[in-house]
């Protein structure tokens, strides 16, 4: 009977907390698409991409030049020189492959680096809207949490109940 009363109490407390919460949604991608700074970001990413393409072209030109010189002089090379020239060509070929593989990642990293201030700007505005509208939670359109009122974060309470150590940096923003 006592467990039933406890469950009933937990249900009513949970219902009361739910009734007090206010949930909203945000489409961050739509907001980003409307920000004038996005043009600057796109231009900077395109400049970076072009720079990487130019670097790749320099490597390819060097590679082609080495192959041409090797083919023209192969008959005059002794075995040691042939091996050294072949190793040099293989090294440049591997560098080109590695550079091509890394280029997409490097472009993505650069784009994220340039978009980060825009996301911070949206985050600050969202926090203001959340505080003014008394939202307890805001979800992104893809259903992940974009904002959570720190007063509803029970992380520290759970850690205390479990007897886990709480460091001061863990408690910032958590109540």
The predicted-structure confidence for 47-99, as pLDDT tens digits, reads as follows 999 999 999 999 999 999 999 999 999 899 999 999 999 999 999 999 999 99
The reply to whether 7 falls in a domain is no
The reply to whether 2 falls in a domain is no
- The model's pTM: 0.66
The reply to whether 126 falls in a domain is yes
The reply to whether 8 falls in a domain is no
The reply to whether 14 falls in a domain is no
Count structural domains, the chain.
1
Cβ 61 vs Cβ 170: under 8 Å: no
Residue 167 domain boundaries: 21-171
- Residue that wins the pLDDT comparison between 162 and 138: 138
The reply to whether 72 falls in a domain is yes
- Cβ atoms within 10 Å of 57's Cβ, excluding its own: 10
């Amino acid at each position: 009977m006592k467990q039933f009363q406890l469950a009933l109490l937990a249900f009513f407390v949970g219902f009361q907390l739910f009734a007090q919460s206010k949930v909203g949604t945000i489409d961050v991608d739509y907001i980003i698409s409307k920000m004038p700074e996005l043009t600057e970001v796109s231009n900077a990413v395109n400049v970076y991409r072009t720079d990487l393409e130019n670097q790749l072209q320099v490597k390819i030109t060097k590679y082609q030049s080495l192959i041409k010189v090797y083919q023209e002089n192969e008959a005059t090379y002794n075995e040691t020189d042939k091996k050294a020239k072949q190793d040099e060509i293989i090294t440049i070929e591997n560098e080109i492959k590695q550079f091509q593989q890394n280029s997409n990642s490097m472009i993505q990293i650069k784009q994220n680096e340039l978009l980060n201030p825009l996301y911070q700007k949206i985050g600050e505005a969202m926090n203001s809207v959340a505080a003014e509208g008394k939202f307890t939670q805001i979800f992104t359109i893809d259903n992940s949490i974009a904002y959570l009122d720190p007063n509803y974060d029970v992380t520290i309470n759970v850690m205390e109940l479990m007897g886990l150590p709480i460091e001061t940096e863990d408690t910032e923003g958590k109540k």
